[in-house]
């Protein structure tokens, strides 16, 4: 198996630092991408730590690549948590993680976050990973179209990332034929360059993966380059821009669905999604049903053929029901939802779905219960893969609600509410720039310039180049120009 590889990373046109990190080992066929987040240095630290840790684990591994990738994700998660514990100023840092290993006709993949893996083959492109992002949850719940998700200002908000307790990764594998290419990228590419354009550029440079990577980076920068861009392209020996006359899409070449694995526990069999083909533990019930049927046939011998038909039908029906129930159980046991006190379910986080619930597993925090009316439409119909995911989603939804309330309060110049919502945001965010800006506005309105400047300074310390900081600084600085003062809030 010969593969060729291209790779490149670029800071983009807006950011000052490159918080992406990647690693390529062409001999071992290990390919890693991480996209860090969290403050001035946090993002770079987190992505570098994830790549270095994962790389060490994978270099020492042999054979079972799915287990090795899971261990690599777990070790990376642990390393970031330990770094945060040792350096509290890094609180809130995290990173996406995407790892692919190629070995003997298969690829193995692990992923957390919104860095993506695509497979390109026979003129087509397909995404192998599902983003762990807030907008992806809304798309899956049918509340947002993929196009709306692509353009949403919330699209970079993640529901999962390394650097959190109890995190889970998606792992999986598929067949590698040698006539395909795998593309790994950070959202700096996938957010701004449409999938069809990505495919067009990869196929156009099929003979030279390094050129393809450079073309992809140029395309992202041409689209504004709002974020760091990282691409790794692996092409098989028979990958080409020519589409075969006969498109073959054999079952075995379809990518297998990824499986969620818990990064927090040490048990090797912790996949929360069990494949449907697992031996059925309830088989004994089926046998019991058959035995009863046999007894009945003895009493009504003349209808034995009919009996046999009915029994066969009932047997098949029973099997189908049990298979269905088992499928349901395995699916639902890995799902959580939030109930808000409707339809007889008291407020709380439940396991299962609203119709098939295992019961409550956690109470809703008082802050969430008090926002029920506004949070409910944001989370209606959403199901989550873990308690962590529910909590992340609730927190994200709370932030949305408080931000919206604060903006509305600003518009109607209701400053006590601005302060209240600012403080609520401050409680929710590890780096609360929005909260500082709101509190600065509140104190300015109260006529307390000292407090207002203090909060403005805190916001500026976090993101000096943030346009909102600069705009507020202009507003809060008394200026002789009438245009500058006309937009400031009226002093009491």
**Residues at the interface with Ca ion (CB under 5 A):** 35, 186-187, 227
Q: Which residues pair with 323 in a beta bridge?
A: none
Nearest to 51 by CA among 67, 35, 27: 35
Kindly state the smallest distance separating residue 479's Cβ from Ca ion, in Å.
36
Nearer to Ca ion, 14 or 276 (CB): 14
Minimum distance, C-beta of residue 157 to Ca ion, in the bound complex (Å): 12
- 216 or 406: CB nearest Ca ion: 216
In whole angstroms, give the CA distance from residue 419 to residue 456: 14
| 35 vs 167 by CB, closer to Ca ion | 35
Shortest separation between residue 120's beta carbon and Ca ion, angstroms:
22
Contact 62, 120 (CB under 8 A): no
SS (H, E, C) 394-424: HHHHHHHHHHHHHHHHHHCCCHHHHHHHHHH
Which helix (H) or strand (E) is 189 found in, with range?
helix 187-190
CA dihedral 308, 310, 313, 317 (to 10 degrees): -130
Least distance CB 201 / Ca ion (angstroms)? 19
- Report the residue number, 433 or 435, with the smaller CB distance to Ca ion: 433
Name the minimum Å distance from CB 462 to Ca ion: 18
Decide whether 167 or 227 has the Cβ nearer to Ca ion: 227
Which tokens go with 56? 């060490």
Q: Which two tokens stand for residue 171?
A: 């792992």
What is the smallest separation between the CB atom of 470 and Ca ion, expressed in angstroms? 23
Which residues neighbour 136 within 8 Å (Cβ) at sequence distance 6 or greater? 114, 130, 149, 159
Q: What whole-number distance in Å separates Cα of residue 212 and Cα of residue 200?
A: 10
- Whichever of 35 and 475 has its CB closer to Ca ion, that residue is 35
Question: Closer to Ca ion at the Cβ: 190 or 383?
Answer: 190
Find the shortest distance in angstroms from Cβ 97 to Ca ion. Answer: 13
Helices (H), 282-414: 283-299, 304-332, 366-370, 372-379, 387-411
CA–CA dist 472, 437 (Å, integer): 8
Quote the least distance from Cβ 228 to Ca ion, whole Å: 6
Q: In this structure, what DSSP letter does residue 212 have?
A: H
Distance CA 223, CA 63 (A): 42
Decide whether 225 or 334 has the Cβ nearer to Ca ion. 225
d(Cα 105, Cα 1) in Å, to the nearest integer? 8
Residue 114 or 180 having the CB closest to Ca ion? 114
Nearer to Ca ion, 118 or 436 (CB): 118
Short-list 54, 158, 169, 70, CA closest to 114? 158
Distance CA 115, CA 188 (A): 9
State the minimum distance, in angstroms, from the CB of residue 130 to Ca ion: 17
Identity of the residue, 15 or 121, whose beta carbon is nearer to Ca ion in the bound complex = 15
- For 159, 270, 345, 349, 374, the CA distances from 167, given in Å and listed in that order, are 10, 13, 28, 18, 27
CA separation for the pair 488, 202 (Å, rounded): 51
């Amino acid at each position: 198996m010969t593969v060729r590889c291209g790779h490149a990373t670029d800071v983009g046109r807006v950011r000052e630092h490159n918080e992406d990190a990647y690693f390529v080992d062409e001999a071992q066929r290990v390919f890693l991408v991480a996209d860090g987040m969290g403050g001035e240095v946090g993002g770079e630290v987190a992505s570098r730590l994830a790549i270095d840790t994962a790389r060490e684990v994978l270099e020492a591994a042999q054979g079972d690549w799915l287990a090795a990738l899971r261990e690599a994700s777990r070790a990376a998660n642990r390393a970031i948590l330990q770094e945060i514990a040792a350096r509290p100023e890094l609180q809130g840092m995290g990173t996406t993680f995407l790892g692919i290993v190629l070995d003997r006709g298969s690829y193995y993949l692990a992923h957390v976050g919104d860095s993506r893996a695509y497979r390109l083959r026979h003129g087509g492109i397909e995404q192998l990973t599902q983003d762990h992002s807030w907008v992806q949850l809304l798309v899956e719940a049918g509340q947002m179209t993929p196009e709306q998700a692509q353009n949403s200002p919330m699209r970079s908000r993640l529901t999962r990332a390394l650097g959190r307790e109890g995190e889970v990764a998606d792992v999986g594998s598929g067949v590698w034929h040698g006539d395909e290419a795998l593309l790994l990228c950070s959202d700096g590419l996938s957010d701004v360059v449409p999938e069809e354009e990505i495919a067009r550029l990869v196929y156009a440079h099929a003979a030279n993966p390094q050129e393809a990577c450079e073309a992809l980076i140029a395309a992202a920068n041409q689209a504004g380059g709002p974020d760091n861009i990282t691409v790794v392209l692996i092409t098989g020996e028979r990958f080409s821009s020519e589409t075969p006359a006969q498109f073959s899409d054999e079952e075995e070449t379809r990518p297998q669905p990824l499986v969620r694995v818990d990064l927090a526990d040490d048990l090797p069999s912790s996949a929360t999604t069990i494949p449907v083909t697992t031996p059925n533990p309830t088989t004994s019930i089926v046998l019991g049903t058959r035995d009863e049927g046999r007894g009945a046939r003895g009493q009504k011998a003349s209808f034995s053929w009919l009996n046999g038909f009915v029994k066969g039908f009932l047997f098949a029906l029973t099997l189908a029901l049990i298979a269905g129930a088992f499928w349901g159980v395995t699916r639902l046991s890995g799902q959580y939802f939030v109930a808000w006190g409707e339809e007889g379910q008291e407020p709380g986080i439940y396991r299962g779905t609203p119709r098939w619930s295992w019961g409550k597993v956690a109470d809703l925090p008082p802050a969430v219960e008090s926002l029920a009316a506004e949070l409910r439409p944001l989370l209606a119909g959403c199901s989550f893969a873990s308690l962590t995911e529910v909590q992340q989603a609730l927190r994200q939804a709370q932030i949305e609600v408080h931000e919206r309330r604060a903006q509305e309060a600003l518009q109607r110049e209701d400053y006590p509410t601005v302060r209240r919502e600012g403080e609520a945001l401050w409680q929710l965010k590890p780096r609360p720039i929005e909260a500082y800006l709101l509190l600065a506005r509140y104190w300015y309105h109260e006529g307390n310039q000292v407090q207002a400047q203090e909060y403005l300074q805190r916001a500026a310390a976090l993101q000096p180049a943030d346009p909102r900081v600069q705009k507020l600084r202009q507003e809060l600085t008394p200026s002789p120009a009438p245009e500058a003062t006309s937009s400031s809030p009226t002093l009491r």
